[in-house]
C-alpha cells in the first residue's frame, strides 16, 4: 500500500521510494500472497497520479509450491513486460505470535 507522506517521499513499510516530480515515472506496486498476488501500475506525471492497470495474479491451491511460485512469477513478469516500469514497491507481510491473525494473512 502506497501512501503519500511528503511531496518527495512515498512510504512503503520501512522502505522509501524517492519521488522525482520533474520526471514521469511508472511505478509497479505488488501485494504478494501465495494464493492471490495483487498489483497496480500507476503513472506519475508532475503532480498527477494515474492508475494504468490493476489486477490479481492467482495460483492454484492444488499445485505444488514450486508450480505456484512459477505461476505468480510468470504473471508479474507479464505485467513488467507490458509497462515501462521505473520503480517497484512491495508490501510487507505482518506476522505475529497470534496464529489466527497470521493464518488469516497467509494463503
Taking only the tens place, the pLDDT of each residue in 4-32 is 333 333 444 444 455 556 666 888 999 98
- Structural domains of the chain sorted by starting position, each given as residue range(s) with its CATH number in brackets: 3-105 (3.30.420.10)
Which sign, positive or negative, has the C-alpha torsion 18, 52, 35, 60?
A: negative
Distances (CA, A) of 58 to 20, 84, 103: 33, 23, 18
pLDDT tops 70 at residue 3: no
Does residue 46 contact residue 20 with C-beta atoms inside 8 Å? no
Radius of gyration from C-alpha coordinates of the chain: 16
Place of cell 505470535: 97
- Give the residue, 78 or 12, on which the prediction is more confident: 78
Q: What is the pLDDT of residues 34-74, one digit of tens each?
A: 899 999 999 987 778 899 999 999 999 999 999 999 999 99
Backbone angles phi and psi of 4, in degrees to 5: -75, 120
pTM given for the model: 0.67
Amino acid at each position: 500500500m502506497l501512501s503519500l507522506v511528503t511531496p518527495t517521499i512515498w512510504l512503503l513499510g520501512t522502505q522509501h521510494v524517492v519521488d522525482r516530480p520533474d520526471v514521469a515515472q511508472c511505478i509497479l506496486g505488488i501485494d504478494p500472497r501465495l494464493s492471490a498476488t495483487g498489483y497496480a501500475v500507476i503513472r506519475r506525471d508532475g503532480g498527477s497520479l494515474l492508475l494504468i492497470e490493476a489486477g490479481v495474479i492467482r495460483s492454484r491451491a492444488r499445485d505444488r509450491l514450486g508450480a505456484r511460485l512459477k505461476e505468480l512469477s510468470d504473471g508479474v513478469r507479464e505485467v513488467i513486460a507490458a509497462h515501462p516500469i521505473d520503480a517497484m514497491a512491495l508490501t510487507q507481510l505482518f506476522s505475529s505470535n497470534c496464529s489466527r491473525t497470521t493464518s488469516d494473512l497467509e494463503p
